[in-house]
Structures are given as C-alpha cells and as structure tokens.
Amino acid sequence: MLELAIGIILGGCALGAGCAMIAGIGPGIGEGNAVAKACEAIGRQPESKGAVTTTMLMGCAIAETTGLYALVIAILLIFLAPGRFVDILLNAVGMM
C-alpha cells in the first residue's frame, strides 16, 4: 500500500512538471510575434531601428521570465518535491 502512495506521489510530481512546461509555449509565441512586428516597424521606418530594437529586446526579456519560472517549477517538481512528499508520507505513517 505504501508503494502505491509513493508511486502516486512520483506520478503527480512528473505530471505537474509536464504541465508547468506547457507555460513555455506562451513566451515562444509572444516573442515571435514581437520580433515579427519589430521587423515590420523597422521596414516601414528604418530610422527608428534603435528605439524599436531596444523596446523589443526589453519586452522579449520580460516575456521570457514566465518561461524561466515554469522551468524552475518543473525542476523543483522533478528533483526536490518527490523526496519531500515521501518524507511527509513516511512521517504520517510513522515509519521514520
């Protein structure tokens, strides 16, 4: 019975990490749209290249943080959380 509970914990952590990595799709799409619009703007007004590029890079950096947060959460769910949850389970059962 204890092995089943540990398996559920490990499966839940893996499933949670996979769901967290879905958040990486948003920044990719958003940054692609930003670069496309920046290229359009530079094509229409080449003299504004510096301002458009600077603003685009700042926006892409801010958008990328959501993907990085998702990566950190996924890494924590894969490497740190299972051990913690198993320890909590074993303490609740009284085996530690």
Work out the burial of residue 77: count CB atoms within 10 Å of its CB; fewer than 13 is exposed, 13-18 middle, 19 or more buried.
buried
Coil, strand or helix at 3: helix
pLDDT at residue 50, rounded to an integer: 93
Classify residue 45 as left (phi > 0), alpha (psi -120 to 50) or beta: beta
How many Cα atoms occupy the beta-carbon half-sphere of 60 within 13 Å? 16
Q: Identify whether the C-beta of residue 70 lies closer than 8 Å to the C-beta of residue 25.
A: no
For 58-94, the pLDDT digits (tens) are 989 888 888 899 999 999 999 999 999 999 999 998 8
Span 27-49, mean pLDDT?
92
pTM of the model as a whole = 0.75
Q: How many CA atoms lie within 13 A of 72 on its CB side?
A: 6
What single-letter amino acid sits at 37? K
pLDDT-derived band at 28 (thresholds 50, 70, 90) equals confident
Which stretches within 1-96 are classed as H helix?
2-21, 25-44, 49-79, 81-93
